[in-house]
Amino acid sequence: MIVYRDKSNSNYAVDAADFVEAAKAYPFDKIIIHGDSRLAKSIGSDGVHLASTQLHMISEAKARGLFVVVSTHSLKELKEAEISGADMATYSPVFHTPNKGKAVGIKGLHKATLEVNIPVLALGGILTKKQIVSCQEAGAAGFASIRYFA
């Protein structure tokens, strides 16, 4: 799965369409864009990534036949995302990351993975292979990161 997310781009719709088209040349199982299920459907994206403030938009995205990934930052949000129909969620921050609040840690991630029946991706402060392995051992279905790949 690959996700295009650029919340401050004034040319987002065009760039998202270009991203989806380019990504189709690779064997990704899902190509996801951020924030707009109508745009996601219109440009041929497989799904949409929603912020925790957009939980109310899950049913709209599902009605469009999209795979839905939601960012969550608490067990309450994670459970609400699942109940609302999300297919997958990120849970963060697992490790310390600038300006993202208190890290939940590996134990918090493990607890979260046991609380829901949807795949949970670890997010936040993931910089090393050792951290990735720890997240996998805690039950995460995978991880999301920017700085790990930078």
Instruction: Please tell me the predicted confidence (pLDDT) of residue 121.
Output: 98
By the 10 Å C-beta count (0-12 exposed, 13-18 middle, 19+ buried), 36 is classed as buried
* Sequence spans of domains, the chain: 2-144
List residues bridging with 68 in a β-sheet. 48
In tens digits, the chain (150 residues) has pLDDT values of: 999 999 889 999 999 999 999 999 999 999 999 999 999 999 999 999 999 999 999 999 999 999 999 999 999 999 999 999 999 999 999 999 888 789 999 999 999 999 999 999 999 999 999 999 999 999 999 999 988 988
Instruction: Please tell me the predicted confidence (pLDDT) of residue 146.
Output: 87
**Into which CATH architecture does domain 2-144 fall?**
Alpha-Beta Barrel (3.20)
